[in-house]
Copies of this chain bind each other. A is one copy, B any other.
């Protein structure tokens, strides 16, 4: 009998996952929806899977990577902005006074975004992001951020695609910050990245058309914005959705509310040693209401400590 079984059937598509309930649930779901003639078969065209990014596909602690980027940009740009020495939130960033930065709230964050990522063309911003991503290192692991991606999730993306799924990012992060590197990191091309968008407009520079990034947020792809983003950019309801925080709750509910087989999963950060441990009281990636709903409704919850054999490719 062993001889009649083809070799590929014995290779493990998710080797970084422990053989616990989440891995079994994922494989059982994929088997159900791909079994031709089966009662839960889903045609390939409808196999849409959406993934949150920060905290689901890569590290978001202690600050979102896009915030780290913006802070670095403020420091780089400071010589051209002497006025920042006395203006919050810029003063706080330059002096490492995070309390002063936090005190400026949403308005301060918006000022930082405007100062560091608008008033330039989309191509200039793409180059800026690519340059930063190539050289920046996080503090805890001292690795490039694109190496702080979760190996089990990278395997899961590839496993779903090899089973006919189309994989999308649906993130609160800004699309212009993600698209320069998602294809290389996750195998997800720019047009399958949904996120927060800045207002842009077509202009002419030196006789050539350019897309200018304006100091205005056009759409916030978080919380109740995620189903809206999915509807606007993808135009189809996912049959599987993956997140890690309360900001994903509506995306998972929207996915669950469709007909036929559905798969909802939350990544729970439980591994203080290999990564970080946080949930209900975290200011970044708060997981509270969505965790209760997952438990109540039987959505899959991954404990990074228990369910992942390996977290990063660079770790043993």
Stretch at the interface among A141-149, A250-258, A288-296, A308-316: A250-258
Q: How far is the CA of A234 from the CA of B225 in the complex (A)?
A: 19
Contact in complex: B254, A209 (CB < 8 Å): yes
A250-B209, A257-B208 known; A193 vs B227 contact (CB < 8 Å) = no
A211-259, CB < 8 A from B:
211, 218, 224-225, 227-228, 231-236, 250, 253-254, 257
Contact in complex: A231, B183 (CB < 8 Å): no
Contact in complex: B227, A191 (CB < 8 Å): no
Contact in complex: A209, B45 (CB < 8 Å): no
Contact in complex: A189, B224 (CB < 8 Å): no
* A231 partner, pick from B211, B232, B253, beta carbons under 8 A: B211
Q: How far is the CA of A256 from the CA of B236 in the complex (A)?
A: 31
Contacts of A250 in B (CB 8 A): 202, 209
A171-194, CB < 8 A from B:
175, 179, 183, 189-193
* A191 partner, pick from B190, B201, B211, B235, beta carbons under 8 A: B235
Of the listed residues A166, A193, A200, the one surrounded by the most CB atoms of chain B closer than 10 A to its CB is A200
The answer to the question of A197 belonging to the interface, with a C-beta cut-off of 8 Å to chain B, is yes
Q: Residue on B with the closest CB to A175? A: B235
Q: How far is the CB of A283 from chain B (nearest CB, A)?
A: 24
Contacts of A197 in B (CB 8 A): 232
Contact in complex: B202, A228 (CB < 8 Å): yes
A208-B257, A209-B253, A209-B254 known; A234 vs B190 contact (CB < 8 Å) = yes
Contact in complex: A202, B224 (CB < 8 Å): yes
Contacts of A236 in B (CB 8 A): 189-191
Can you spell out 25 A-B residue pairs with CB atoms less than 8 angstroms apart?
A45-B183, A166-B191, A168-B191, A175-B232, A175-B235, A179-B235, A189-B236, A190-B234, A190-B235, A191-B191, A191-B192, A191-B233, A191-B234, A191-B235, A197-B232, A200-B232, A201-B224, A202-B224, A202-B225, A202-B227, A202-B250, A202-B254, A208-B257, A209-B227, A209-B254
Nearest 8 A/B pairs, CB to CB: A190-B235, A202-B224, A191-B234, A179-B235, A211-B231, A190-B236, A202-B227, A209-B254
A residues whose Cβ falls under 8 Å from a Cβ of B: 45, 48, 122, 166, 168, 175, 179, 183, 189-193, 197, 200-202, 208-209, 211, 218, 224-225, 227-228, 231-236, 250, 253-254, 257
